[in-house]
Amino acid sequence: MDFPFELLINAVVAGLLLGAFYAAVTAGISISFGMLDIVNIGHPAFIILGSYIAYYFNINYHIDPIVTCLILSPIFYFLGTAIYQVYYLSFEKRGQQSLRGLAFFFGVLFVTEVLLLLAFGVDYRYVATSYIGPSIHVGFVDLPLRMLVPCIGSLILFGGLQLFISHTFTGRAVLAVSQDQLALQLMAVDPIRIKRIAFGVSIAVAAMAGAFLIIIQPVEPSVGREYIGRVFAICVLGGMGSMPGTLIAALLLGVIESITATFYGPSWAPAVSFGVLLLTLAFRPSGILGR
Amino acid sequence: MANSITIENVHAAYGSVRVLEDVTITVNSGETVALLGTNGNGKSTLMKCVMGIVRPVSGRIVAEIDGEKHDLVGRTTEQIVDLGIALVPEGRRLFPKLTVEENLLLGASRRKARAQIKANMDFCFDAFSRLAERRNQLAGSMSGGEQQMLALARALMLSPRILLVDEPSVGLAPLLVSRTIDAIKQLKDHYQLTVLMAEQNFKQAVRIADHGYVIVHGKIAFEGRSAEELNNNDLVRKLYLGM
């Protein structure tokens, strides 16, 4: 029997497209969990919230979800700074962030889900845009625009975040803040301000991921739970706090899932991707690009 | 322009434990002042009081920066650093998982220092050639001596007027101690800094000090107005040489 070469290439390409989207979903976690040590388990809830707001404006005013979420992300930034302030004053300042902080973000996750349920119901919702149906064909490779547009969007988002982290004073302070807060104060930088900004950015990024999510698949209020395990896995696999590592890990996981789903069936995909995570942790505990 | 620190009648405590009692110290513009004393006598606490990390129970700490006077008690650490006072803390406190260059660039976060990043960085790499060789290496992977150089260089990236150095010799081999002390002198001369240095190593500290204080159990036990006065003092002999 001939090896299904075309099938493999298509699976890899589909995996890369999916992986880029995973990267956008993980980017916010990579900042809050990877750089700030804040276990924001509620992150997917903000992504879903972004999806629903994009849905609302798409259905009622025919606005493109990406445009909606671009406008939405500054608002999400301020929402994020406000949530961090509550988290800081209630938990971090008193040194109770590890368990109570986790419970807090679980609460945020459930409250957001329930509010969305009450507002929109349990049905799957989707958006209508010109690029959801068609595909580009390059030789025998299929590039559905529904996947390609979020992929390009994610890569731009990632490039922007990487520039922010590595080339601005605030970005470098974000990298340093979990290592030594007093040392940061001795550099005339207020660590709480840095964390507030970084957390705001992570939530702003969630808005963009929300737009990509609802372009890729229909959304219902608890769909974010599918992503919780996967995003934390990508974050750890890539190396905590490394944006390039996160991107590589997300692409890798996308490709692995896609190949597994194509050749062995979709139900094996999570098992294989978490298997890769376990092996990575066994042989390279700091992740692909961890320091 | 004048850059000085005046510490007047400072008392400090951790809870009910008194650490500093009625400490009065003057660091005049352009001087290097040594704060001498063995472990646990309050040197670091005094440094922390100046930097706003520990709030004194009573007393005044006034810094004069470029001729302008600022009351430091009650300000946050960030505000004090922003005025132009840098501390090289005990234990160095580098960012171990950032590279040498990233550590230095973080030092330049202070607004007034941003315009001088290039000049300051060039000087640091010139003065400490090891740092230039290792600019892309993680700070945590360097030797103790190199880390101390990086900690000094990072403080200089702030373009400070006043430099506080807490126990630069801790954990270093004797040769490195004397090199570190030389480096402080070199940096002081180049940037015309005013320096307050807490140190256990009496001989090394006195080498570059213009004057100094001996602190015992949280009180100033002796003030030496010159290096000779410090050298020829009975108390110093008793404390350091056991005679």
* pLDDT value for B243: 53
Q: Are B48 and B243 in contact (CB under 8 A)?
A: no
Q: What is d(CA B126, CA A226) in angstroms, rounded to the nearest whole number?
A: 54
| Domain count of the fold of chain B | 1
How many interface pairs between A and B have CB atoms less than 8 angstroms apart? 69
Band of pLDDT at residue A13, cut at 50, 70 and 90: very high
Nearest residue of chain B to residue A172 (CA atoms) = B106
The position carrying tokens 């679980």 is A106
Nearest to B93 among A169, A183, A190 (CB): A183
Query: With contact defined as beta carbons under 8 Å apart, do B11 and B20 qualify?
Result: yes
Low-confidence winner among A95-104, A256-265, B67-76, B152-161 (lowest mean pLDDT): A95-104
Give the whole-number percent of chain A exceeding pLDDT 70: 99
Q: Are B23 and B43 in contact (CB under 8 A)?
A: no
Which is higher by pLDDT, B165 or A229? B165
- Which is nearest to A232 in space by CA: A105, A111, A124? A105
What chain A residue is nearest to B96 in terms of C-alpha separation? A179
A283 φ/ψ angles, rounded to the nearest 5 degrees: -100, -25
Judge: A179–B108 Cβ closer than 8 Å, yes or no.
no
Given A180, A188, A291, which is nearest B93 (Cβ)? A180
Q: What is the pLDDT of residue B207?
A: 87
Q: What is the per-residue pLDDT for A71?
A: 96
* pLDDT computed for residue A280 by the predictor: 85
Reading the block at residue A227, the tokens are: 């992503």
Residue B238's pLDDT is: 74
d(Cα B152, Cα A188) in Å, to the nearest integer? 16
Residue with more model confidence, A234 or A224: A234
Q: For residues A9 and A15, what is the distance between their CA atoms, to the nearest angstrom? A: 10
Partners of B95 on chain A (C-beta within 8 Å) are: 175-176, 179-180, 183
CA–CA gap between residue B197 and residue B158 (Å, rounded)? 18
Least confident of A12-16, A41-45, B199-203: B199-203
Percent of chain A with pLDDT over 90: 66
How far is the C-alpha of A140 from the C-alpha of A8, rounded, in Å? Answer: 11
3-state helix, strand, coil in chain A (%, to 5): 75, 5, 20
User: Closest-CA residue in chain B for A174?
Assistant: B106
Q: What tokens does A111 get?
A: 């409250």
Round to whole Å and give the CA distance between A72 and A208: 8
Identify the closest residue of chain A to B77 by CA–CA distance: A185
Edge-to-edge, what's the strand order for the sheet holding B85-88?
B85-88, B162-166, B194-199, B32-36, B211-216, B219-224
The ranges of chain B with pLDDT < 70 are 240-243
pLDDT in the model for residue B241: 58
Distance CA B16, CA B19 (A): 9
Q: Is the pLDDT of residue A68 over 80?
A: yes
Sole residue written with tokens 């960012």: B95
Strand order in the sheet with B58-65: B17-27, B4-14, B58-65, B68-71
- CA separation for the pair A84, A175 (Å, rounded): 17
For residue B91, give the CATH number of its domain.
3.40.50.300
For residue B118, what are the domain limits? 4-241
Please indicate whether, in this complex, the C-beta atoms of A169 and B105 are within 8 angstroms of each other: yes
Tell whether the model's pLDDT for residue A37 goes beyond 70. yes
| pLDDT at position A45 over 90 | yes
Q: How confident is the model at residue A129 (pLDDT cuts 50, 70, 90)?
A: confident
> Is pLDDT of A291 > 80?
no
Of A257 and A3, more confident: A257
Top pLDDT among A135 and B12 is at B12
Q: Alpha-carbon distance B226 to B243, whole Å?
A: 21
Query: Phi/psi class of residue A239: alpha, beta or left (left: φ > 0; alpha: ψ in -120 to 50)?
Result: left
ipTM value, please give it. Answer: 0.92
A175, A189, A291: residue with CB nearest B109: A189
Is the Cβ pair A172, B102 closer than 8 Å?
yes
What are A158-211's pLDDT values in tens digits? 999 999 999 999 999 999 999 999 999 999 999 999 999 999 999 999 999 999
